């Protein structure tokens, strides 16, 4: 299938300057493009901070649609580490065998249904349901909730056409507030209840803090997972040999997942607020401006990855930064990796070929750069293994 945009829109800027510029709602962003610099800046949290007005480190900025600080995401060390530690064990539950077997059942069922249809719109009929059903497991909440989340669409903060949508965001905030009140009255084994009962700095976590963790869990893992799933299916449609290879060499699936995360980079970049006048790539950066750590560009840096614009399913050395880097790496990564592994192995088990019937790419506009992040829509036909 032909791509309508460059496979790596950052290639030339990364090579020439190492930086890119974009304007986002009158708050410009200097994008850091080289793998080495992205990692270096990620380490320097005192200069390049995650702690500012809630929503400002996200690009596009969410300052106008969000007041709640997402936790632990919008804090710097050492406070970041305090929350992170509290959450780590919960977010590692996807390593447990029973978690994986329920996740596998969910995904097998959805793929089974897709195989019965003459065509499937992958974003809304497969990727979004997979993400939402899986989220009930991550939150350890009732499976029925998935239907409500599916009705919200692919992004909780953006409406169709990608515009930030404050009304839509309110639906999520109200829902989380309601769930917190429910958990206060009827504590259970779900993430809300567990957090409400946990202590931070010798006191109970506040409702606002619990909300901060939940907003992050809902928002951060939504379009990202949906894009990863959708891109993977499109790739397998274009490369029918890959499914056969997974059948022959299932042991490469873990590496294939890492490689797809590198190549697709579901989250293009994440911002930081500059706390003092400094320099990146010999370029002056002013205090209170923003930079972004461009994971998508770093993940195609030819100084680190051989054949960066190719998916090498069993790529051996793969220091990608698709899940972020340093203190701030993706809390949901264990969950996301399991979804992707189970997805690839289930497809290999049940599907022979996938045909793309019609699709429209989702192109992210970043001033000078245009990047394909996924699909607005993609109709496919799954063909079963006879």
Q: Interface with ligand EMZ by CB under 6 A: which residues?
A: 58, 62, 70, 73, 157, 216, 219-220, 223, 267
CB of 375 to ligand EMZ, least distance (A): 17
CB of 60 to ligand EMZ, least distance (A): 9
279, containing H or E segment: strand 278-280
Distance separating alpha carbons of residues 73 and 54, to the nearest angstrom: 10
Cβ(367)–Cβ(22) under 8 Å? yes
**Which CB sits closer to ligand EMZ, 81 or 240?**
81
**Could you write out the DSSP letters of every residue in 328-385?**
EE-TTHHHHHHHHHHHHHHHHHHEEEEEEEEEEEEEEEETTEEEEEEEEEEEEEEEE-
49, containing H or E segment: strand 48-49
Residues 6+ apart with CB under 8 A from 365: none
**Which CB sits closer to ligand EMZ, 62 or 125?**
62
CB of 332 to ligand EMZ, least distance (A): 8
CB of 314 to ligand EMZ, least distance (A): 27
CB of 73 to ligand EMZ, least distance (A): 6
Pairing relation of β-strands 270-274 and 290-293? antiparallel
Does the CA dihedral 340-344-346-352 come out positive or negative? positive
**Which CB sits closer to ligand EMZ, 73 or 149?**
73
**Which CB sits closer to ligand EMZ, 214 or 236?**
214
Cα 62 to the center of its chain, rounded Å: 16
**Which CB sits closer to ligand EMZ, 68 or 136?**
68
CB of 148 to ligand EMZ, least distance (A): 19
Instruction: Supply 307's token pair.
Output: 């054949």
Looking at residue 69, what DSSP letter applies? P
Distance separating alpha carbons of residues 106 and 94, to the nearest angstrom: 14
**Which CB sits closer to ligand EMZ, 205 or 213?**
213
CB of 273 to ligand EMZ, least distance (A): 15
**Which CB sits closer to ligand EMZ, 138 or 242?**
138
- Residue nearest ligand EMZ, Cβ-based: 220
């Amino acid at each position: 299938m032909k791509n309508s945009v460059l496979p790596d829109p950052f290639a030339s800027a990364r090579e020439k300057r190492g930086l890119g510029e974009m304007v986002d709602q009158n708050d410009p962003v200097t994008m850091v493009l080289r793998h080495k610099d992205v990692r270096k800046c990620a380490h320097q949290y005192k200069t390049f901070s995650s702690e500012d007005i809630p929503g400002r480190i996200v690009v596009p900025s969410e300052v106008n649609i969000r007041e709640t600080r997402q936790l632990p995401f919008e804090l710097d060390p050492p406070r970041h580490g305090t929350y992170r530690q509290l959450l780590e064990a919960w977010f590692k539950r996807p390593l447990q065998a029973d978690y994986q077997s329920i996740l596998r059942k969910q995904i097998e069922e959805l793929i089974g249904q897709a195989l019965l249809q003459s065509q499937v719109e992958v974003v809304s009929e497969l990727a979004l349901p997979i993400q939402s059903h899986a989220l009930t497991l991550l939150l350890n909440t009732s499976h029925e909730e998935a239907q409500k989340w599916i009705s919200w669409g692919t992004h909780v903060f953006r409406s169709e056409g990608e515009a930030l949508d404050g009304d839509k965001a309110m639906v999520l905030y109200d829902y989380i507030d309601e769930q917190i009140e429910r958990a206060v009255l009827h504590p259970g084994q779900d993430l809300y209840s567990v957090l409400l009962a946990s202590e931070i700095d010798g006191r109970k976590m506040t409702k606002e803090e619990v909300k901060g963790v939940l907003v992050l869990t809902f928002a951060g893992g939504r379009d990202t997972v949906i894009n990863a799933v959708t891109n993977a299916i499109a790739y397998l449609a274009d490369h029918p040999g890959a499914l056969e290879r997974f059948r022959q060499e299932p042991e490469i699936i873990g590496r294939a997942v890492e490689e797809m995360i590198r190549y697709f980079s579901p989250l293009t970049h994440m911002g930081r607020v500059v706390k003092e006048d400094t320099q990146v790539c010999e370029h002056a950066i002013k205090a209170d401006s923003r930079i972004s750590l461009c994971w998508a560009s770093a993940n195609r840096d030819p100084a680190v990855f051989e054949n960066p614009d190719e998916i090498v399913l069993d790529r051996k050395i793969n220091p990608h930064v698709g899940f972020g880097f340093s203190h701030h790496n993706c809390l949901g990564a264990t969950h996301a990796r399991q979804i992707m592994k189970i997805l690839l192995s289930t497809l290999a088990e049940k599907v022979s070929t996938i045909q793309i019937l019609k699709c429209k790419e989702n192109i992210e506009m970043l001033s000078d750069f245009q990047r394909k992040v996924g699909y607005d829509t993609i109709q496919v036909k799954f063909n079963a293994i006879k």
